[in-house]
Amino acid sequence: MDALLDFARGPLFRFSFAILVLGLLRILILDIWGIIEALRKTDDKKIPWKLVSIRTLEWFVPVRKVFSNRPIYSSLSILFHVGLLLVPIFLYAHISLWKGTVGFGWPALPKLWADILTLLAIGTALALFTGRIISKTSSFLSRKQDYLWPLILVIPFLTGFICANAGVSPVLYRICMLTHILSAEIIFVLIPFTKIAHCIIMPLSQLVATIAWKFPPETDEAVCTTLNKKGAPV
Amino acid sequence: MKTAQITPEERERAFASAKKPEVIDKQKLKVRYHVEDYNVADRPRQFLEAFSAILKHSNYRMALDHFIRMSAKCSRCATTCQVYQATGDPKDIPCFRSELLLSVYRRHFTLGGMLKGRLLGNGYLTDEKIEEMAESFWNCTACRRCTMECPSGIDHGLVTHLGRYILSELGIAPRALVVSTREQLEGATGNTSAIPVPALIDTLEFLEEDIKEELSVEVKFPMDVENAEYVFFPAVSDFLMEAETLMGIVAVFTVTGDSWTTGTGYFDGINYGLFYSDRMLERVVKKVDAETRRLKGKKILIGECGHASRSAKYYIPVYCGGDKALPVINIMEYTHRVWKEGRLKLDPNAIMEPVAYHDPCNIARQKWIIEKPRELLKAFCPNYVEMTPNRDQNVCCGGGGGTVSIDEVRAYRTGVGGKLKADQIRASGCKYLVAPCANCKKQLRELVEDQGIDVEVVGLHDLIYKAIIWDEKFKVSSSPAEEIPQKQEDK
Ligand code: SF4
């Protein structure tokens, strides 16, 4: 068991983390490359930066958006994201692990806050899952991954919480810890290949949608040639 | 604001199709809009070939790649779409509409999708899917309101736009739009309403006389004047249907004395390409540019029309020279500027009835022209009212995306697409509904008629015409002296 834990903590962690980072980097680079290419191809290179920035920021500080449309779902989703992002990054135990291996750390969340946020993440994830099942519109659109993600994400939070709080027996502690680490690693590996990839490219969405409307010139001729439609009537 | 779901009877009316069964059979298409005969053989292959050609020569790939990675399927867009609100049909959820095309892209144009498709041996594009797209993409008014509500930033309007473009390469596009565009690009008259130049000149002379009679003011629609500051392109249908808008515009130019002209070589602002084919969009935009350059005009001036304005404003730079392209302005910008400069005087109590302003999606969604018409209206309509939501969040008239020109879907437009708008108009209590757009005007008139709302739909310049305070110097001195007081008595 201990050997397995060490393996999960060590090589397996490094491997999955590398996939996460490299995978996201790949997507980011592809996205940015797409934007650069699109701008190179079009003659209209003016970008309404103000509008793009406002519409991008509106989603990062979604105060106005929350209550304008589906307020319950939107608030749940925001709280969920807050817990999801803050806890893994600012947990004392995680930071000290980092410090141990790479030599630097950053300020941690107070334990009480970490606990509250963990429970918040778990609660909201389950609520979002339930909401997806109940809502006629969401369930119509949902794919398998849309149902699975909130459930998968709960696992590391729940097991982490148990390890940090409950005075469980050493065996149970180890099982929980192993599940905690392995589930997190599975998540890392999956992120770049699923919708969670949005965590890296979301800031580019409004820019992409704006530039997408800027077409390259002379495409009429080019498309006609490719489709053998040259000289064909309208 | 939300509208109630339609009743089963309303649904039946809205979705009734006038299509003959033999046509449906022959064209293998159940859609309600008419389509010209096209090659129905192996449509999936045709579709994929067209898709691939378009991807090769466009910037869509970047957007589609981004969208398929982002899509979270949260369904937040559902509540915004006026079509979904009215039908309650989950297939009208914007995200579902987009997924129709995104799934084809994922399956046939991404490595992962192709591998998965091969391995599992499924997911190949089917005839049914093509039919579903042909139906869905034209149920949407391309208003792009859902885009504003998508946390993932998926531009459903763009996906619909692309889907229609691909379908049009197979020959699946509303006949009404195709026929008009054909006349515009290849026909003898060179415009979508098939107005010959002599008829145009007649119409304008008639309007000049009308104004002279009404106001004792001599106005002139300048034709083919070279080196003018503005070359004017209204939606050509205005020459037939929106005389009052044109009268307001000529009145403003008469007051300011600025140089403007209409070219007899080409005088149509309409660009249905924006609604169904980028190739047509490009061809039409180039005609606008060419005519302006022929006349050595300095700026392109678009009349009261949302899609005409958007296609010129955003696509003259794209297709006609980038940085060096001719500037494009909309008539509302011009009128607002001359009013601000004090060159246009408006009677503050000209219109006493409640007046509301409808933002055309193509003008407001990108926050292009929003406050200017409002400021103008407030200057002469003391009872100005707002419809909410408004400005860049406005609700579509229900006839957007070219659907207004498809007469056979009127019941759908006024029963489903425009249902939310109808509620909004009723709630505003307005008497005049100002819509500075040829498309919106036609749709809104049909909407208030079909929904039984007592409102007059007008253009912005229709009202400005009534509000202008004329300086004595414009009054025609030759007219018999007694005629003027007579006129005023009539009022
Ligand atoms: S563009 Fe408008 S009509 Fe089309 S799906 Fe979006 S909100 Fe609905």
Please name the residues in contact with B452: beta carbons below 8 A apart, sequence gap of 6 or more. Answer: none
Considering the domain architecture, whether residues B335 and B382 belong to the same structural domain is answered as yes
pLDDT of B487 higher than 60: no
Give pLDDT, residue B366. Answer: 93
* Lowest mean per-residue pLDDT among A64-68, A190-194, A228-232, B55-59: A64-68
Residue B251's Cβ-count burial label (10 Å; 0-12, 13-18, 19+) is: buried
User: Which H helix or E strand runs over B458?
Assistant: strand B456-458
| One domain, residues B304 and B399 | yes
Put simply, the chain B residues between 129 and 148 with a CB less than 8 A from any chain A CB are 147-148
B327 touches chain A (CB under 8 A): no
Write down the ipTM of this complex. 0.95
Which of B125, B145, B173 terminates a domain? The answer is B173
Give me the pLDDT at residue B490, please. Answer: 43
Q: What is the distance between the alpha carbons of residues B291 and B344, in angstroms, rounded to a whole number?
A: 29
Cβ burial, residue A145 (10 Å; 0-12/13-18/19+)? middle
What confidence score (pLDDT) does residue B478 get? 54
Measured from CB, residues less than 6 Å from any atom of ligand 1 are B 80-81, 83, 94, 97, 140-146, 156-157, 396
Domain-embedded: residue B479: no
The pTM of this model reads: 0.94
Nearest residue in B to A59, CA atom: B151
Question: Does B150 reside within a domain?
Answer: yes
Measured between beta carbons, which residues in chain B are less than 8 angstroms from residue A59?
151, 153
Name the DSSP class of A51.
H
CA B166 to centroid of ligand 1, rounded, Å: 19
140-169 in chain A: CB under 8 A from chain B:
140-143, 146
Shared domain for B65 and B153, answered yes or no, is: yes
Angle between helices A49-60 and A205-212 in degrees, nearest 10: 140
Domain boundaries, chain A: 2-42+54-215
B184 with B74, same domain: the answer is no
Minimum-distance ligand 1 atom for the alpha carbon of B400: 3
**Pick the residue with more confidence: A60 or A20?**
A20
User: Which candidate, B83, B68, B66, places its Cα nearest to that of B146?
Assistant: B83
Fold of A2-42+54-215: Fumarate Reductase Cytochrome B subunit (1.20.950)
- Is there a single domain that holds both residue B156 and residue B130? yes
Ordered alpha helix ranges (H), B323-406: 331-340, 361-364, 371-380
Pick the residue of B51, B57, B315 with the most A CBs within 10 A to test the interface with A by mutation.
B57
Same domain? B375 vs B450: yes
Q: pLDDT tier at B150 (50, 70, 90 boundaries)?
A: very high
Question: For A64-79, how does the pLDDT look when each residue is reduced to its tens digit (9 = 90+)?
Answer: 777 777 888 889 999 9
* Closest ligand 1 atom number to CA of residue B84: 8
**Nearest-by-Cβ selection for A205 from B152, B314, B317:** B152
Confidence of residue B92 (pLDDT cuts 50, 70, 90): very high
Q: Phi and psi dihedrals of B206, rounded to 5? A: -60, -45
Q: State the DSSP H helix or E strand holding residue A111, giving kind and residue range, or none if neither.
A: helix A111-134
Query: Is residue B280 within 8 angstroms of chain A, CB to CB?
Result: yes
- Asked whether residue B275 falls in the same domain as residue B163, the answer is no
| Same domain (yes/no): B227, B110 | no
Is B318 within 8 Å of A220 when comparing Cβ atoms?
no
Closest Cα of chain B to A122: distance in Å? 19
How does pLDDT run across A82-135, given as a tens digit for each residue?
A: 999 999 999 999 999 889 888 899 999 999 999 999 999 999 999 999 999 999
Other C-beta atoms lying within 10 Å of the C-beta of residue A65: 18
User: Are A44 and B153 an interchain contact pair (Cβ–Cβ within 8 Å)?
Assistant: no
Whether residue B482 lies inside any domain: the answer is no
Return the beta strands (E) in B326-436 as ranges.
328-330, 355-357, 384-385, 432-434
The minimal CB distance from A220 to the residues B50, B79, B279 is found for B279
B239: in domain: yes
Q: Which two tokens stand for residue B118?
A: 């091969």
Together in a domain, B282 and B389: yes
Ligand 1: distance of its center to the CA of B401 in Å? 10
Query: In chain B, how many domains are there?
Result: 2
Domain boundary among B173, B189, B221: B173
pLDDT attached to residue A29:
98
- Residues of B in Cβ contact (< 8 Å) with A201: 66, 69-70
> Are the CB atoms for B367 and B112 separated by under 8 Å?
no
pLDDT beyond 70 at B479: no
Same domain, residue pair B72 and B199: no
Instruction: Give yes or no for residue B485 having a pLDDT over 50.
Output: no
In a domain, B484, yes or no: no
Q: What's the CA gap between B339 and B359, in Å, rounded?
A: 20
State whether residue B21 sits within 8 Å of chain A by CB.
Answer: no
Residues of chain A in contact with residue B395, where contact means CB-CB under 8 angstroms, are none
Q: Which domain holds residue B124?
A: 2-173
Q: Do B70 and A213 touch (CB under 8 A)?
A: no
| Residue among B393, B396, B413, B419 whose CB has most ligand 1 atoms within 8 A, to mutate | B396
Is B207 found in the same domain as B191?
A: yes
Chain A to chain B, count of Cβ pairs less than 8 Å apart? 178
The C-alpha atoms of residue B258 and residue B256 are separated, in whole angstroms, by 5
Given an 8 Å threshold on Cβ–Cβ distance, is B74 in contact with A77? yes
| Residues B301 and B362 both lie in one domain | yes
With beta carbons under 8 A apart, name residues in chain B contacting A70: 76, 79
What value does the mean pLDDT take over residues A157-173?
88
For residues A135-162, give the mean pLDDT.
Answer: 95
- Residue B489 belongs to a domain: no
Q: Determine, yes or no, domain membership for B61.
A: yes
Q: Looking at chain A from residue 196 to 225, which residues have their Cβ under 8 Å from any Cβ of chain B?
A: 197-198, 201-202, 204-206, 208-209, 211-220, 222-224
B468: helix, strand or coil = strand
CB of B49 less than 8 A from some CB of A:
yes
Average pLDDT, chain B: 95
> Of B158, B173, B188, which one is at a domain's C-terminal end?
B173
Size of chain B, expressed as the number of residues it contains: 491
Does residue B7 register a pLDDT over 80?
yes
Identify whether B487 is part of a domain.
no
Residue B488 has pLDDT above 80, yes or no: no
Element spanning B232, H or E: strand B230-233
CB-based burial of residue B451 (10 Å sphere; 0-12 exposed, 13-18 middle, 19+ buried)? Answer: middle
Query: Is it the case that residue B486 has pLDDT exceeding 50?
Result: no
Q: Helices A111-134 and A71-90 meet at what angle, rounded to 10?
A: 140
Least CA distance to A225: which residue of chain B?
Answer: B53
Shortest CB distance from A69 goes to which of B71, B149, B323?
A: B149
Non-local (6+) Cβ contacts of B244 within 8 A are B458, B459, B461, B462, B465
Mean pLDDT of B264-271: 98
Q: Residue B481: its pLDDT value, please?
A: 46
Task: For residue B441, give Cα distances in angstroms to A55, B72, B472.
Answer: 29, 37, 33
Distance of CA B236 to the CA centre of its chain: 13
How many Å apart are CA B467 and CA B127, to the nearest integer? 56
Rounded to an integer, what is the distance from CA B121 to the centroid of its chain?
A: 43
Residue A159 to chain B, least CA–CA distance (Å): 26
